[in-house]
Structure 1
Amino acid sequence: MIPASPPSYREDAPAYFVPRIALLFCAPLIVNGFAMPYFPVWLSTLSLNDLEIGIILSVPMFVRVVTAPLVGVLADRIGERAEVLIWSAVLSFFTALALFVSPSFWCVLIIYALQGAVYSPYVPIVEAIALTGVRRWGFDYAMMRLWGSIAFIGATMLGGALIGIYGGGMVLPAMAGGFALMILLTFLAPRVGRPRRPSTLTTLTEAPPKALRKPDLQLLLVGVTLINGSHAMLFAFSAIYWQHIGFSGTEIGLLWSAGVAAEVAMFFCARMIIRRFSLWTMIFTGCWLAVVRWVIFPMDIGFWGYFALQCFHAFTYAIMHTGMQNMLVQRVPEEQEASAQGLYFFYTGVFTAIFTFTSGYFYTRFGVDGFYSMSVVALAGCGAALAAWMLQPQRSGRGG
């Protein structure tokens, strides 16, 4: 739970702040609900090979690591972050339209990279506005963010049904419709004025503070974000593989929804889990289960086996992410909170981009057995997290 701080002076919150932020979260996650599982399926309809698909999916990730912080600086300086949302949504919509007339590899690569650049700041800026509401007026962040996850599940299920009827051709119209909805909903964005704290993205343009340079904390960030990055092949090629072995669009939608639903359920239980288990236990549980998840994935386990495996997402992302966030709260001063989140975003983005790129090669070379490479990545993440645990200053025997 993100604690609220009382405002230094009396100020009325914008009307209907919580439902307006909830809608702002819904729109981009509807786009993600169509794009994350099914955009690779559309790419496969263009007769692109798996290596080319991996390249197209990875390049925007590299681009957004650079562009998102620059736009974050702009959003903080213009005084009203909501204005940037409008431009992000409009430009994203036009790049989606451009994909309709760009069937070649190079055209898709360039346009999708541009889309990554203009779309990347949208959700972080919504996050920044939401956190302003938490700090100034004590709103519940979870209740605003929850509706985005529900929208993602709904879009994924709808996309699965549509892909079963229309095939990969439904992906671009669905994405364009989601971006059009984003444009409409940006006009509902609450105006909260000039930020009193820099956003997470803004801090990426500066050197990290000393608290974040400690070797044990750096190793922990690397370990957790390696685990995050090990999901890259799942995001890029799971829907293509499941379609290849005969799963229907509805079944693929159910598999993706199961992972997100398990993640949401774990977030609901997080407070109870934190009271009963240490943060290191939460982090190590996610790390080791990620290794197990990618070792099992290439096996012939059928629909219900994959359904159960998708529920591992509650551990390989949600419980580990919760542990990492609470660890940052303990180890990093409040005034450096945005820098910590920015560094977390940076590492996750870089590793996910790298492993999305390499997953194209491994999937081309080894097919579904390429998922074993992700287990190696996860194992490296476990090693980094274990090294961080051994180096932490407060461990007995190390003078803590």
Structure 2
Amino acid sequence: MIRTPAFRFAGYYGAFYLLLGCFLPYFPQWLDGQGLSPEWIGWIVAAGMAGRTLVSPIGARWSDRAMRRRDPILAFAIGCVVVFGLHGASSLPWVLLVLSFLSGALVFGQIPVIDAFAIRSAKGGAFSFGPVRAFGSAMFIVANFVAGYLIDRLGTQSILAWLILAAGLLALAAAWLPEGRREEPHAKGKGHIRDLLIMLAGPLGLALLASAMVQAGHGFYYAFSAKAWSDQGLSGTAIGALWASGVLVEIAFLWLSGKGVLGRASPAVLLGVGAVGSILRWGLTALSPPLWALFALQSLHALTFAATYVGFLRFAADHVPDEHAALAQALNSALSGGLVMAAASAASGYFYAQLGAGGFAIMIIPAVCGLVAAVFLYRLKPLPGSQKID
């Protein structure tokens, strides 16, 4: 049983989110511990998002064409071990900028490939995608708490040690994934690219825009929430608990995403709900509320991240052909976590320097843009051949 695809994918997602659960909230703190200014931290975090933008489509195209879907995932995971190991060699801002570009490319480049691989493997009732992915979110919580505790006890250098060890575990988990062997690679041709461009000019383009804008609203959160809350007087353990509380509601949403009302919700509705949640979350977090209120606001992560994430996954599964599945996910990753997120992260450094935690409010702007795109997507006629994913 332990060798079934569900366990192998769950093992990979678990290892990946053990890495990400430290990398997302605490890597900016590690940079702060190196003596860098908020402006430099913003640019270095943005470089990682830019790496995601440029490399994700390459890895996805490799996955769409490869005889074994596991190969690009394994290559990226091994690369993570090497690049995180190099972070301790220099504290020069320009060196860290380059390394951040590479680490962002290698870490986040895996997301669209593994999501497309797992969703395809889950089709036909082989296993339920939601609980498998939710296990990864549970490991994200473990990383939040344990890494936060280690920072309180050992300082920010413990962050880099965690990242190196987690990357090693991720490489082992990637090697344990099913091969995902194809009988033959997809045929190359201009017709396939033309079909993709036609989709981008229609509903796919709107779905990408809505997802990118809502997810990019997390830019300030990822780059400066730990520092802002630390400056507010919260301990590393409390900050880890705040991040973990957000992921707990994310887990619940993912677990229930294929059932009842959530299972019937259209992609446009999910994306729109995510946008509304984003407007509320960042606008109120900018007021530097007390700890109990921050926990309440973190529950909106179920909408700002999970609903948006499932909304685009559902759209891609329903309306994007298999030969473009990983590429569509990569385009979403390159935009939502790359290009737009990089701009938000870079701007966050300047807004944090000027406004402190008040800079959270700037993230309302992309959220409103995402809501407009979701409304336009909802107004389009539904496409035929829809399938549900759970």
With normalisation by structure 1, the TM-score equals 0.84
> Partner of 2:229 in structure 1?
242
**Which deviates the most, 136-145 or 51-60?**
136-145
Query: 2:374 matched to 1:381?
Result: no
Which of residues 29, 51, 55 is equivalent to 2:17? 29
Q: Deviations over 1:37-72 (max 9, x none)?
A: 111111111221111101101112112222222233
Contact kept, 8 Å, 1:14 with 1:191, in 2: the verdict is no
- 1:181/1:126 CA distance change after superposition, 3 Å: same
Secondary structure, aligned partner of 2:155 = helix
Which of residues 366, 371, 384 is equivalent to 2:360? 371
> Partner of 1:225 in structure 2?
212
- 1:327/1:366 CA distance change after superposition, 3 Å: same
- How far apart are the structure 2 equivalents of 1:207 and 1:163? 50
- 1:279/1:20 CA distance change after superposition, 3 Å: closer
Size of the aligned set, in residue pairs, is: 376
Query: 2:270 matched to 1:296?
Result: no
- CA shift, 1:184, in A, is 2.7
Query: 2:193 matched to 1:178?
Result: no
Which of residues 259, 270, 273 is equivalent to 2:261? 273
Which of residues 324, 340, 343 is equivalent to 1:351? 340
**Which deviates the most, 322-331 or 57-66?**
322-331
Q: Deviations over 1:198-225 (max 9, x none)?
A: 6xxxx9x945626523445533431332
**Which deviates the most, 237-246 or 296-305?**
296-305
- CA shift, 1:161, in A, is 0.9
With normalisation by structure 2, the TM-score equals 0.86
Secondary structure, aligned partner of 1:318 = helix
Which of residues 235, 250, 262 is equivalent to 1:263? 250
**Structure 1: gaps spanning 5 or more residues:** 1-12, 395-400
- 1:359/1:186 CA distance change after superposition, 3 Å: same
Amino acid aligned to 1:144: V
Contact kept, 8 Å, 1:76 with 1:195, in 2: the verdict is no
Amino acid aligned to 1:227: V
**Which deviates the most, 42-51 or 268-277?**
268-277
**Which deviates the most, 238-247 or 82-91?**
82-91
- 1:91/1:276 CA distance change after superposition, 3 Å: closer
Which of residues 37, 61, 68 is equivalent to 1:80? 68
- How far apart are the structure 2 equivalents of 1:357 and 1:207? 34
Amino acid aligned to 2:251: V
Alignment of 1:290-369 (within 5 A): 290-328=278-316, 337-338=325-326, 340-348=328-336, 349-369=338-358
Which of residues 230, 239, 261 is equivalent to 1:252? 239
- CA shift, 1:125, in A, is 3.6
Q: Deviations over 1:168-199 (max 9, x none)?
A: 1210001011012123333322223237676x
- How far apart are the structure 2 equivalents of 1:53 and 1:38? 12
Contact kept, 8 Å, 2:207 with 2:268, in 1: the verdict is no
- CA shift, 1:148, in A, is 1.1
- 1:77/1:225 CA distance change after superposition, 3 Å: closer
> Partner of 2:386 in structure 1?
none
Contact kept, 8 Å, 1:28 with 1:182, in 2: the verdict is yes
**Which deviates the most, 28-37 or 110-119?**
110-119
Contact kept, 8 Å, 2:52 with 2:334, in 1: the verdict is no
- How far apart are the structure 2 equivalents of 1:154 and 1:59? 27
- CA shift, 1:29, in A, is 1.1
**Which deviates the most, 56-65 or 272-281?**
272-281
Percent identity between matched residues is 28
Q: What RMSD, in angstroms, separates the aligned Cα atoms of the two structures? A: 2.9
- 1:176/1:144 CA distance change after superposition, 3 Å: same
Q: Deviations over 1:132-178 (max 9, x none)?
A: 53247722222322221111111111011111112212100010110
- How far apart are the structure 1 equivalents of 2:184 and 2:18? 30
Structure with max Cα Rg: 1
**Which deviates the most, 291-300 or 153-162?**
291-300
Contact kept, 8 Å, 1:25 with 1:123, in 2: the verdict is no
Which of residues 92, 95, 99 is equivalent to 1:104? 92
Secondary structure, aligned partner of 1:247 = coil
- CA shift, 1:252, in A, is 0.6
- How far apart are the structure 2 equivalents of 1:306 and 1:172? 27
Q: Deviations over 1:245-293 (max 9, x none)?
A: 1111111111001111111112223322236766554433321221111
> Partner of 2:387 in structure 1?
none
- How far apart are the structure 2 equivalents of 1:339 and 1:236? 27
- How far apart are the structure 2 equivalents of 1:91 and 1:257? 27
**Which deviates the most, 152-161 or 340-349?**
340-349
Secondary structure, aligned partner of 2:127 = coil
Query: 2:89 matched to 1:116?
Result: no
- How far apart are the structure 2 equivalents of 1:73 and 1:333? 14
Contact kept, 8 Å, 2:137 with 2:251, in 1: the verdict is yes
Amino acid aligned to 1:249: G
- How far apart are the structure 1 equivalents of 2:203 and 2:111? 30
> Partner of 1:6 in structure 2?
none
> Partner of 1:92 in structure 2?
80
- 1:15/1:253 CA distance change after superposition, 3 Å: closer
